[in-house]
Amino acid sequence: MRVAGRWGPTLLFARVELRARLLQPGIRRSVAQQAADLRHVGDSQAERLAGALDRIAADQLPAESARALDRIEAARRAMLRSAETVPWADDTTQSLARICARASQPPSGARLLHHVVAMWQPREALELGTCVGVSAAYQAAAMPSGALTSLEAYPALARQAERTWREAGIDNARVVVGRLADTLAPTLAGTSWDYAFIDANHQGAATERYVEQVSRAASPGALLALDDIDYSAGMRSAWESVRQREDVAASAVVGKIGLLALR
């Protein structure tokens, strides 16, 4: 059924979230089994990753965290009702509401990231691919003593992300605007990163390149999260490659997100 008018993005988002929610019971069973397997490895990083998976399986939030995520979802709902269009690729424009509906992490997926960051508690966190700022908000809300830097190629989306953070009360996130080819290396330089969420160019070769660059700048014991590892054959191959890296102590798969705990 074709849905006209401004309610189209709202219903599109509802479908995306429904599909994500239907996967949650299977994801929780999977992460519980992976946590048990990791505890047999006998490595401190594997044990730490198992703890993150335990949090995902339990899916419980302190009251303060639940209120923070409610504020983020209120900001998302405002975007889904927006009639604004923003500059997009190849000198075109795109509906902000549709970008929010289709490209931002749905609540169930964003909660997974929130639980992982809440366990890891990074001081310096990095995100490749800001979009409208929803996933960054979920992650920043989990690390009140840390700071998150997110890289975004499109200035209009970066401005919307900053608006999302203001409306949600997120004050520990910032965005760097520009092509990743220009911004990633300078951002990585001079900072020891404890966590990174790689959600940019969903091509296998690019993903492997990002993992290599970020890993070189990461602090000991850092965690890398990779989105859409099942997006294509190339991404599946890239995931199998990066999880075999010598600097990876343990790995896990949470739905379409891959987790790499570095040595």
Closest by Cα among 143, 109, 161 to 223: 143
pTM of the model: 0.94
Residue 14 CA from chain centroid, whole number:
19
Report the alpha-carbon distance of residue 226 to residue 224 in Å, rounded: 7
- Residue (of 156, 198, 202, 206) closest to 177 by Cα position: 156
C-alpha to C-alpha distance for 229 and 197, rounded to whole angstroms:
12
State residue 2's pLDDT score. Answer: 36
- Which two three-digit tokens encode residue 10? 């709202």
Within 7-154, where are the H helices?
7-38, 44-58, 63-80, 96-103, 107-120, 134-141
Place of tokens 């504020």: 71
pLDDT for 39-66, tens place per residue? 999 899 999 999 999 999 999 999 999 9
> What pLDDT, on a 0 to 100 scale, did the predictor assign at position 10?
87
Task: Report residue 198 as tokens.
Answer: 């790689």
Instruction: Identify whether the C-beta of residue 220 lies closer than 8 Å to the C-beta of residue 193.
Output: no
pLDDT of residue 7: 53
Q: Which residue has the tokens 């966190």?
A: 125
Residue 133 is encoded by which pair of tokens? 């700022």
- Only one residue has tokens 């890891």, namely 120
Please list, residue by residue across 111-141, b when 16 or more beta carbons sit within 10 angstroms of its beta carbon and e when fewer do.
Answer: bbbbbbbbbbebebbbbbbbbbbbbbbbbbb
The residues near 88 (Cβ < 8 Å, ≥ 6 apart) are 94, 154
Short-list 259, 260, 257, CA closest to 106: 257
SS3 154: coil
Task: Give yes or no for a contact between 144 and 64, defined as CB atoms under 8 angstroms apart.
Answer: no
pLDDT mean by block of 10 residues, the chain; 263 residues: 55 88 91 96 95 95 96 96 88 91 92 97 97 98 97 95 98 97 95 95 93 97 97 96 97 97 97
Can you give the pLDDT at residue 21?
A: 87
Give me the architecture of the 7-262 domain, per CATH. 3-Layer(aba) Sandwich (3.40)
